[in-house]
Amino acid sequence: MEYQFLCGVEDAASQLCVSVSSLRSAKTSGELLAGDHWVFSTGKPNSRVLWNVKAIRQWQVAQTKLHAEKQQKLASEIEVYVEFENV
């Protein structure tokens, strides 16, 4: 982890263009991983949470690619039926 990328929740949210609640929700759901995406500032619970902006940005890119690939796969499975009339 590169420590110059650790910051508080408001600064991280601003840099990542997401809301504070989105970051906290992703942490709570386990999408963002302890030690990789966020840390306790003292290493102990009940201390301030610091966010690794660089790691979260990489996660955003990976998630975007996964969702785009899923959409492309779903779109490729759609059959197109066009009825042509003889003129």
Q: What is the pLDDT of residues 2-22, one digit of tens each?
A: 556 899 999 999 999 999 999
- Between CA 23 and CA 59 the distance in angstroms is 12
Domain boundaries in the chain? 3-76
pTM, two decimals, is 0.76
65-74 average pLDDT score: 86
Domain spanning 3-76, CATH architecture:
Orthogonal Bundle (1.10)
**85 or 40, which is more confident:** 40
- Between CA 73 and CA 75 the distance in angstroms is 5
Q: What is the mean pLDDT of the chain?
A: 90
Rounded to 5 degrees, φ, ψ at 22 are -65, -40
